């Protein structure tokens, strides 16, 4: 069992929703409202030491509801292991707290997730499109967005 599961269940008993183990990867589904607090705790607790945010990925699970997943991949240099956190967001208004204040690297990752998937990161200092032009319409990584242009 991953060492972070017990830690999170103890510190955030209300917010741990599900634990998925697959091919040696541990994914903990947590309450999106608590993501900033959880990441801060994982970063600052010496027995966790997740000081490095590897990436943030946005996933569209259409037609499932809640439709969007925001995935945080953490690495601990001290314990040399990984942890994946996932937050599920509703399709109608995918909004989640920005974690730029916890990890500076989240800046670009969140902008990318906003740009391509339309996830809104509340509290991001500069939430603008990053790869696509500013006047681009739509979010191309969403499943309803066509592969080819008209």
Partner 1 sequence: MTPVLPERQYDTMLLNVGPSHPSTHGVLRVLVELDGEVIVRAMPDLGYLHRGIEKLCENRTYHQCIPLMNRLDYLAGEVNNFGFCLAVEKLLGIEVPKRAQYIRVIIAELTRIASHIFWLGTHAHDLGAMTPLFYGFREREKIMDLCEMVSGGRMFPAYFRIGGVAADLPEGFVPEALAFVKDFPTKWKDYDTLLTENPIWKKRTVGVGVMTREECLDYGWSGPMARGSGVDWDLRRDNPYSSYEDFDFNIPLGTREGDVYSRYLVRMQEMLESAKIVRQALEKLPKGDIKVDDPRISLPPKEKVYTDIAALINHFKLIQEGVTPPKGEVYQAIEAPKGEMGFYIVSDGSGRPWRVKIRRPSFVVLNATDKLARGRLLADLIALIGTMDIVLADVDC
Q: Is 147 in the site for partner 1 (CB under 8 A)?
A: yes
Q: Is 131 in the site for partner 1 (CB under 8 A)?
A: yes
Q: Which stretch binds partner 1 (CB under 8 A): 5-13, 33-41, 87-95, 106-114?
A: 106-114
**Nearest 5°: CA angle at 27, between 93 and 108?**
55
Q: Name the DSSP letter for residue 98.
A: -
Residues 51-90 that bind partner 1 (CB under 8 A): 51-55, 57-60, 71, 73, 77, 80, 82, 84
Strand 95-97 relative to strand 120-122, pairing? parallel
DSSP string, 47-91: TT---EEEEEEEEE-TTSSS-EEEEEEEEETTTTEEEEEEEEE-S
Which parts of this chain interact with partner 1 (CB under 8 A)?
20, 22-25, 27, 51-55, 57-60, 71, 73, 77, 80, 82, 84, 103-105, 107-109, 112, 116, 128-134, 140-141, 145, 147
């Amino acid at each position: 069992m991953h060492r972070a599961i017990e830690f999170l269940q103890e510190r955030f008993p209300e917010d741990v929703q599900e634990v998925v183990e697959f091919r040696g990867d541990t994914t903990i589904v947590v309450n999106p409202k608590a993501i900033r607090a959880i990441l801060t705790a994982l970063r600052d607790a010496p027995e966790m030491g997740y000081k490095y945010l590897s990436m943030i990925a946005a996933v569209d699970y259409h037609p499932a509801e809640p439709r969007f997943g925001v995935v945080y991949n953490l690495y601990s240099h001290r314990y040399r292991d990984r942890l994946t956190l996932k937050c599920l967001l509703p399709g109608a208004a995918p909004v989640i707290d920005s974690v730029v204040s916890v990890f500076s690297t989240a800046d670009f990752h969140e902008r990318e997730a906003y740009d391509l998937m339309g996830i809104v990161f509340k509290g991001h200092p500069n939430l603008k499109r990053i790869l696509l032009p500013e006047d681009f319409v739509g979010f191309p990584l969403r499943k309803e967005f066509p592969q080819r242009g008209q």
